[in-house]
């Protein structure tokens, strides 16, 4: 079978295609051959401005991981009108392809950068870390790595212990489950999983054989290979993703497309909210609507019941401050009239900081000689060819169905209490030989460092890389306004490594990798650490703590899990922004429902927890109005 007669061309063009050409061909062929991805009849249509109602029961700001869930759940009641505003457009077809997530951000993004630092991201231009977030229907679930992880039970028990009733693990588990449509056959019977929800969860379709060596090495180190979203978190696992038939299942696909025909749900795309409107009524302050811009015009839409802010952990605190809700001194400094003094808005910022691109060179062992040599690992550059496209388009298979991260581990460094099932490091194991260079590019590491580290890990060289990140950082950062202009990005100050303990734990993860490298499974592969050094750290021995600390200061990587900038907590916690029902303290009819409300970060990737928060939030709203 030939695809547009291109088989012969494939032979000729055995070389990797330039990325733009590759994506263009992939996109074109999807449009022609894959109606399942184009999904024309289910896609969300933006409501025209002529059809807008003057008021809706609920106005939701942001159609991301959380906002999409809310749009669906609140419009389940046909007697309620729901208005969902999203600054970006609909998802592009290319973002469905898992491979694409590793090489290119298709949809438009909020192109944030952190403030220059003298302590982290030193290897990046102007010492600023790059921080893309989704500006698209589905939000960051459209450009994330799709990894489905819920965090540790103790995280939620700790939220509850801080005075947030109803957020302990036992209480939140049903909200994780209600979303889920688990399709991995080994999980369908688990008490921790559920079939029939909107959000499909599967194993990545394509895993090169090296992932099994990673899992085996875990066993050899005394870890279990099991469901890390199940009874115990500590252990190793294949990566599971928010995937449907092997393709990305964003929250827009999962939650909004099935609701797109509902008459009571209006979704307005390319609609940028500039302000939440609050009126004073006697002694109380009440949110009553939003001001937004679409094209060149501004509109005011009122909320009969509530305004719900789901703009994510950077934009939600920014919009509150722009609306006069935030730390008094800061608002005055920005010439914003103070509506409500809320000192916690933008504070308590937390993120998972990591060591990435740590590369081990491997040789294919004799036992897998029957595999083509170049298929022990995947080379993400080499597979950028017509053959991969053809396999994906025609067969729904092949390496374009893979993610760089094939395996996950939750492990204990010497700083963790091993009896508690509360690991302190997560490892993402990448089966892509060229992951180092991909990561260097994704995080905008300067080219001198990227070249020094990875220039000879190309072509036939096979390798895997590890991305380790710190699960419970002690450092706290913040988000502040730079001006009262809604278009201007806020100042982002993550303060990575402000608490020296964070760096110590992270560096200790390298000791774990060393042990892993000595397991029988890794010996079979002759796994050896890439000896190339970060130029700025070349004075240190590559096995020393000093080297890896220096590496972390230069090649600082985030897993993009920023949270907690509008934290939930009781009224006597002056930094709490919302209460346990996610209502903003001091303002009636306004809730924040997204990743920013986490009292503290969870010990795992943050997308599934954010979806859980939205499921629970929607349920609370319905109960409060019934």
Ligand X SMILES: *[C@@H]1O[C@H](CO)[C@@H](O)[C@H](O)[C@H]1NC(C)=O
Ligand Y SMILES: Cc1cc2nc3c(=O)[nH]c(=O)nc-3n(C[C@H](O)[C@H](O)[C@H](O)COP(=O)(O)OP(=O)(O)OC[C@H]3O[C@@H](n4cnc5c(N)ncnc54)[C@H](O)[C@@H]3O)c2cc1C
In total, the chain counts a number of residues equal to 626
Is 145 near ligand Y (CB under 6 A)? Answer: yes
Q: Which residues of this protein are in contact with ligand X, per CB under 6 A?
A: 77-79, 163, 231-232, 361, 390-391, 394-395, 417, 419-421, 456-457, 461, 531-532, 570, 572
Min dist. Cβ of residue 270 to ligand X (A): 31
Q: From the list 272, 299, 540, 575, which residue makes contact with ligand Y (rule: CB under 6 A)?
A: 272
Q: From the list 95, 102, 158, 310, which residue makes contact with ligand Y (rule: CB under 6 A)?
A: 310
Q: From the list 74, 178, 269, 273, which residue makes contact with ligand Y (rule: CB under 6 A)?
A: 273
Kindly tell me which of 219 and 581 has the beta carbon lying closer to ligand Y. Answer: 581
Tokens coding 447: 């080219």
Q: From the list 30, 56, 58, 86, which residue makes contact with ligand Y (rule: CB under 6 A)?
A: 86
Kindly tell me which of 105 and 622 has the beta carbon lying closer to ligand X. Answer: 622
| Dist. CA 442–CA 130, nearest whole Å | 8
Min dist. Cβ of residue 44 to ligand Y (A): 13
Min dist. Cβ of residue 408 to ligand Y (A): 10
Classified as helix, coil or strand, 437 is helix
197 binding partner (options ligand X, ligand Y, none; Cβ < 5 to 8 Å by kind): none
Is 84 near ligand Y (CB under 6 A)? Answer: no
Residue with the two structure tokens 């540790």: 152
Kindly tell me which of 149 and 355 has the beta carbon lying closer to ligand Y. Answer: 149
272 binding partner (options ligand Y, ligand X, none; Cβ < 5 to 8 Å by kind): ligand Y
CB contact at 8 A, 346 and 480: yes
| Dist. CA 288–CA 59, nearest whole Å | 9
Largest CA distance in the chain: 79
Residue with the two structure tokens 């240190």: 540
Q: Which stretch binds ligand Y (CB under 6 A): 12-20, 57-65, 541-549, 584-592?
A: 57-65
| Dist. CA 68–CA 88, nearest whole Å | 13
602 annotated as a binding-site residue: no
CB contact at 8 A, 306 and 323: no
Q: Is 330 marked active-site? A: no
361 binding partner (options ligand Y, ligand X, none; Cβ < 5 to 8 Å by kind): ligand X
CB contact at 8 A, 604 and 144: no
| Dist. CA 624–CA 626, nearest whole Å | 6
Q: From the list 87, 301, 393, 505, which residue makes contact with ligand Y (rule: CB under 6 A)?
A: 87
| Dist. CA 588–CA 56, nearest whole Å | 17
Tokens coding 346: 């933008």
| Dist. CA 319–CA 263, nearest whole Å | 29
Residue with the two structure tokens 């409500």: 340
315 binding partner (options ligand Y, ligand X, none; Cβ < 5 to 8 Å by kind): ligand Y
Catalytic residue, candidates 340, 561, 585, 600: 561
273 annotated as a binding-site residue: yes
The site that binds ligand Y (CB under 6 A) totals a number of residues, namely 42
Runs of H (alpha helix) within 462-559: 500-517, 520-524, 545-554
Q: Is 589 left (phi over 0), alpha (psi -120 to 50) or beta?
A: left
Which string of DSSP letters, residue by residue, matches 374-425?
Answer: GGSSB-TTTT-SHHHHHHHHHHS-SGGG--SEEEEEEE--TTS-GGGT--SE
Residue ranges in 512-541 that form contacts with ligand Y under rule CB under 6 A: none
Is 311 near ligand Y (CB under 6 A)? Answer: yes
Kindly tell me which of 131 and 464 has the beta carbon lying closer to ligand X. Answer: 464
Is 607 near ligand Y (CB under 6 A)? Answer: yes
Is 610 near ligand Y (CB under 6 A)? Answer: yes
Q: How far is CA 329 from CA 114, 336, 342, 399, in A?
A: 22, 10, 10, 53
Q: From the list 106, 144, 158, 233, which residue makes contact with ligand Y (rule: CB under 6 A)?
A: 144
Tokens coding 368: 């897998």
Classified as helix, coil or strand, 131 is strand
Q: Which residues pair with 286 in a beta bridge?
A: 279, 588
Kindly tell me which of 463 and 493 has the beta carbon lying closer to ligand X. Answer: 463
Q: From the list 243, 450, 549, 595, which residue makes contact with ligand Y (rule: CB under 6 A)?
A: 595
Is 577 near ligand Y (CB under 6 A)? Answer: no
146 binding partner (options ligand Y, ligand X, none; Cβ < 5 to 8 Å by kind): ligand Y
Residue 37: φ, ψ to 5°: -85, -40
Task: Give binding residues as ranges.
Answer: 136, 273
Q: List residues near ligand Y by CB under 6 A.
A: 61-67, 85-88, 132-136, 139-141, 143-147, 149, 272-273, 310-313, 315, 319, 560-561, 594-595, 605-608, 610
Among all residues, which ones are annotated catalytic? 561
Task: Give binding residues for FAD as ranges.
Answer: 136, 273
């Amino acid at each position: 079978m030939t695809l547009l007669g291109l088989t012969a061309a494939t032979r000729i063009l055995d070389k990797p295609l330039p990325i733009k050409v590759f994506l263009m061909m992939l996109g074109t062929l999807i449009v022609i051959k894959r109606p399942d991805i184009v999904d024309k009849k289910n896609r969300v249509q933006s409501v025209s401005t002529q059809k807008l109602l003057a008021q809706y029961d609920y106005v939701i700001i942001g159609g991301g991981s959380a906002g999409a869930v809310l749009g669906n759940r609140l419009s389940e009641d046909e007697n309620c009108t729901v208005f969902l505003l999203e600054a970006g457009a609909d998802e592009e077809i290319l973002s469905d392809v898992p491979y694409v997530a590793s090489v290119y951000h298709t949809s438009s993004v909020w192109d944030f950068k952190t403030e220059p630092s003298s302590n982290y991201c030193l290897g990046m231009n102007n010492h600023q870390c790059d921080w893309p977030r989704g500006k698209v229907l589905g939000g960051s679930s459209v450009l994330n790595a799709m990894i489905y992880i819920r965090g540790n039970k103790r995280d939620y028990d700790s939220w509850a212990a801080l005075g947030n009733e109803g957020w302990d693990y036992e209480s939140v588990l049903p909200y994780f489950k209600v979303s889920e449509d688990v399709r991995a056959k080994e999980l369908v019977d688990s008490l921790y999983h559920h079939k029939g929800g909107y959000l499909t969860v599967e194993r990545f379709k394509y895993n090169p054989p090296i992932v099994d060596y990673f899992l085996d090495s875990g066993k050899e180190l005394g870890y279990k290979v099991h469901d890390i979203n199940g009874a115990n978190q500590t252990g190793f696992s294949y990566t599971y993703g928010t995937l449907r038939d092997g393709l990305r299942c964003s929250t827009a696909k999962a939650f909004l497309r099935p609701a797109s025909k509902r008459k009571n749900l209006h979704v307005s795309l390319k609609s940028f909210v500039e302000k939440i409107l609050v009126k004073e009524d006697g002694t109380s302050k009440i949110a009553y609507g939003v001001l937004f811009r679409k094209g060149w015009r501004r509109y005011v839409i009122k909320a009969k019941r509530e305004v719900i802010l789901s703009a994510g952990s950077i934009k939600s605190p920014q919009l509150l401050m722009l609306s006069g809700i935030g730390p008094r001194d800061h608002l005055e400094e920005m010439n914003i009239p103070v509506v409500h003094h809320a000192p916690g808005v933008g504070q308590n910022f937390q993120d998972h900081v990591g060591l990435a691109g740590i590369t081990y060179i491997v040789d294919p062992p004799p036992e897998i000689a029957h595999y083509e040599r170049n298929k022990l690992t995947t080379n993400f550059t080499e597979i950028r060819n017509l053959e991969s496209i053809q396999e994906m388009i025609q067969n729904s298979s092949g390496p374009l169905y893979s993610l760089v991260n094939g395996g996950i581990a939750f492990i204990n460094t010497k700083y963790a209490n091993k009896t508690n099932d509360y690991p302190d490091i997560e490892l993402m194991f990448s089966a892509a030989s060229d992951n180092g260079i991909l990561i260097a590019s994704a995080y905008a590491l300067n080219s001198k460092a990227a070249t020094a580290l990875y220039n000879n890990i190309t072509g036939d060289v096979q390798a895997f890389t590890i991305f380790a990140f710190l699960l419970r950082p002690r450092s706290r950062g913040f988000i502040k306004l730079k001006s009262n202009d809604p278009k201007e990005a806020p100042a982002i100050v993550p303060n990575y490594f402000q608490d020296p303990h964070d760096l110590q734990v992270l560096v200790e993860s390298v000791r774990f990798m060393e042990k892993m490298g000595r397991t029988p499974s890794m010996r079979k592969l002759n796994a050896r650490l890439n000896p190339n050094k970060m130029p700025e750290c070349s004075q240190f021995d590559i096995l020393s703590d000093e080297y890896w600390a220096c590496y972390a200061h230069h090649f600082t990587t985030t897993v993009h899990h920023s949270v907690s900038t509008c934290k939930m907590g009781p009224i006597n916690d002056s930094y709490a922004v919302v209460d346990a029902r996610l209502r903003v303290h001091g303002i009636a009819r306004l809730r924040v429902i997204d990743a920013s409300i986490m009292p503290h970060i969870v010990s795992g990737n943050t997308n599934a927890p954010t979806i859980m928060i939205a499921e629970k939030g929607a349920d609370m709203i319905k109960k409060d109005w019934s």
